[in-house]
Chain A
Amino acid sequence: MLYETSPLAVGIFAAFVAGVLWLSFRLGRKGQSAQGYYAAHGQVHWFVNGVAFAGDYLSAASFLGICGMIAFSGYDGFLYSIGFLAGWVVALFVIAEPIKSLGRFTFADALDARFNSRGIKLAVAISTLVVSIFYLIPQMVGAGSLVTPLLGLPHAVGVILVGVAVTMIVVTAGMVSTTWVQFIKGSLLVLFCGVLTVLILQRGLVVNAGRPGPVDLTPQVHTVCRDGTVLVDGQPQTRDHDLRPVGTISRLPERFADREATGPLGPLAYLAALEDSTIITWNKTTRVDDQGTHVTFTPQERPAADLLRPGGYFKGLASGTLAGRLDFASLMLALFCGTASLPHILIRYYTVKDAAAARRSTVVGIAAIGFFYVLTLYLGLGAMTSGGLDPTDTNMAAPLLAKSFSEILFAVISAIAFTTVLGTVSGLIMAGSGAVAHDLVENVCGIQMTDHEKVRVGKIAAVGLGIVAMALGILFKGFNVGFLVGWAFNIAASANLPALVMLLFWPRTTKQGITAAVTVGMLASLGWILLSADTFEKVYGVPGALAPMPFSQPGLVTIPLGFVVLVVVSLLTPAPTRR
């Protein structure tokens, strides 16, 4: 769909981004030592850190990706919310306090605390970089998706805009400014999603999104020609000849039968009324020929109840195939195990002063994140029935939902989504920069650096990572960001969790065991993803049936594999001696 840019939207957006950058520069003066740059001097208040956890964690995947997935596929998007939150239980009850006590700047510090092994530092630094880069891709794709409708700029420009802004935030003040950007973003995101949810409940359910007459059920064809031109129903796409927005209610429940709108509803009454309604969704079929790629969107009337149960996105659940079920189980295991293995989350434990603060900040994080995930259900379902969805872009569901209320809200929500990307990307680049400067250059290569040099190397690494992130963001345009982030969780959980858990629970763990588990877990999960049906279809453009892997999500196999490798290698190598 083509979008009109409004000067108001651009103004609000620019003010938001400028505000965040100003704050970052202002705080920049505080972060010039290594302890300041990498760990914000370990002086962040636990409450601020807790909200910053939410700002760090609620990425484009959580906001744009989950809302889009619920709006397009129903309940299955909410399963991501459930899995993303569940991971925090592992973080709080198992990982938080020990990791705080063991480490100093990076995740490698914690895993290596007992061994002082270059092998561990090297393996963990590489796994940190791989996970951070896989996590960066969806964030940058989300940024590109947002900028097109809001500012009328091409996808690539959005990606570059985020890349430059984030690199500036990180380079100016490291963890101090990153923490405050994440705190502001986390607060704004939860607050405005709360406002949107209140508006959704106030509006209730409305037949045909308040438009007169019956819902238009004619199919629409969107063609992207080989030369890049876009056709709608065979004619060039213009503002007057564009795809119709989709997703609406066609019939309300019996108890509202003589009305066009339910009026305001309570949170549970809203869900119950939707369950009894009939909605219009759309089927999507794709055909490729000499002219280009033709996607036909065919409106389909169906009971909303069909979309309020599992199986809309995870087709294997509905069809009951073994591979489909294993794929789903694997993803949910990776989400559960992945959170506590994400390097950019783990480094946030070094910004507070002690284990009690680490614990308290995690609880604040869980409360804020849990509340937000409840809101995603309403945002997704509200978007599904708002009559304003762009069928070609799942990532735009939440901003377009805001647009169905007002242009100002659209601008505010888009700006928040953009700062969402800024917050998460700055955390990821911080984690990657620490892995390069502190783990690789200083500890693995053994190059002694002064405090000042350590910060400078970190900043150079941050710029390099920013450039890689921009390139990948342009390359992966058009993917659902929630789907993409699933990969990062799989790799993080497979590479890092076995080592982390066994280090805490099994005294016989050796440095060789940890190095082997991290290396094998990372390579196995990465290799599995690259050879999976999803990647064949969506990245290489090859039929998924040719892929050698039985299902696409590796976690179910590669997480246990990491544990097995760790135990076997540890038993084959000399036990660590008591100091």
Chain B
Amino acid sequence: MAPTKTRRGGIRDGMSQENQHDPHDPALTPSRLGLGLFAAYVALYGGFMVLVLVRPDLLAMRPFGGVNLAIIAGLGLIGAAVALSAVYMIARSE
């Protein structure tokens, strides 16, 4: 069974596991949606790291009075990874 390209350029399920792939087969590249979500997460992660490296003092701020920005950002990054992956799963199952 040959791999077939889906509408989003991703991989259709139930593909062959044999080593018979065209080296230029676009079906083996990740989906556009996946790459878009990946880029969004890289921006968040990269932005946070730049903040830690360049302006760590800002992370000690407590914008809402209680928990500081370092913890809000850390929990936010974990939440974002879970949320983006859920979006991906739902979108790809449709």
Contacts and interface: CB of A to CB of B under 8 A. Distances in A.
A102 B60 contact: no
B70 A310 contact: yes
A86 B49 CA distance: 12
A302 to B, nearest CB: 14
A93 B28 contact: no
A579 B10 CA distance: 21
A377 B30 contact: no
Contacts of A113: 19, 21
Interface in A336-367: 336, 353-357, 359-360, 362-363, 366-367
Interface stretch (A75-83, A218-226, A486-494, A536-544): A75-83
B23 interface: yes
Contact of B15 (A354, A363, A377): A354
Interface residues of B, number: 52
B74 A329 contact: no
A89 B21 contact: no
A130 interface: no
B81 A275 contact: no
A363 B49 contact: no
A90 B38 contact: yes
Given A75-B70, A308-B71, A363 B22 contact: no
A370 B82 contact: yes
Contacts of B70: 75, 308-310
A114 B21 contact: yes
Contacts of B17: 42, 101, 103-104
A507 B29 CA distance: 10
Interface residues of A, number: 66
A51 to B, nearest CB: 15
A317 B53 contact: yes
A205 to B, nearest CB: 14
A377 B3 CA distance: 43
Contacts of A269: 66
A190 B74 CA distance: 19
Interface string A58-85: 0000000000000000010011011001
Contacts of B62: 275
A79 to B, nearest CB: 7
Contacts of A377: 71, 74-75
Given A81-B74, A366-B81, A354 B14 contact: yes
B26 to A, nearest CB: 9
A356 B60 contact: no
B68 A355 contact: no
Contact of B81 (A88, A101, A305, A310): A88
B29 A505 contact: yes
Nearest to A317: B56
Nearest to B87: A363
Contact of B38 (A93, A97, A310, A332): A93
Nearest to A269: B66
Interface in A188-204: none
Contacts of A328: 52-53
A507 B11 contact: no
Given A98-B11, A363-B88, A109 B19 contact: yes
A373 B30 contact: no
A310 B51 CA distance: 10
B94 interface: no
A82 B71 contact: no
A317 B82 contact: no
A504 B34 CA distance: 14
Contacts of A109: 19
Interface of B: 3, 10-15, 17, 19-24, 28-31, 34-35, 37-38, 41, 45, 48-49, 52-53, 56, 59-60, 62, 65-68, 70-71, 74-75, 77-79, 81-82, 84-86, 88-89, 92-93
Give me the 9 closest cross-chain CB pairs, A-B, nearest first.
A272-B66, A93-B38, A93-B34, A356-B13, A354-B13, A363-B89, A370-B82, A366-B85, A507-B24
15 contacts: A82-B78, A86-B45, A93-B35, A94-B35, A95-B30, A103-B17, A114-B23, A271-B71, A325-B53, A363-B85, A366-B85, A367-B82, A370-B81, A377-B75, A507-B23
